[in-house]
Amino acid sequence: MNNLFDLYRQGLELFREHRFWEAHEKWEEFWQQVKASKNLANKSDLVKGIIQISAAFHKIYKQKNIEGFRKIIHNLKKYLKNYPQILFYLELFSNDPDIIYTRKDLFHNLITQLEKIQIWKE
């Protein structure tokens, strides 16, 4: 389980640094291990949602693709339905993408919510 924790935290650190594609890749590695675990396989969809968050931010930050960002956010909601605190921030960003650049505190708050997820303990 320690390796899982490390993979998740590494992805989170990459996300915090706005290295969204690298975070996506690290969380993909994490997802593969979650899927393979008998105890955690039921968390696979949650991890898919987290991976898609990084893909969405890659779209908006690196590609300046607002519609692509919104589409991914819309599609990932089904994976994060039990995490309304995360969906709250994603909805804010989706409704007004400019705040991604102007309200760094909201981005930090999203990261704080992602830090609270402990898939291996749920």
Report pLDDT for 5.
83
Q: What is the pLDDT of residue 1?
A: 57
> pTM of the prediction?
0.90
List, in order, residues 6 or more apart from 34 with CB less than 8 Å away.
4, 40, 41, 43, 44, 47, 119
| Confidence check: pLDDT of 107 > 70 | yes
Residue 119: the pLDDT is 74
109 or 1: which leads in pLDDT: 109
pLDDT of residue 2: 62
In total, the chain counts a number of residues equal to 122
CA 83 to chain centre: 11
Q: In the CATH scheme, what architecture does the domain 2-121 have? A: Orthogonal Bundle (1.10)
Cα–Cα distances (Å) from 32 to 25, 28, 46, 71, 111, in that order, read 11, 6, 13, 24, 22
Mean predicted confidence (pLDDT) in 41-66: 93
Per-domain boundaries in the chain: 2-121
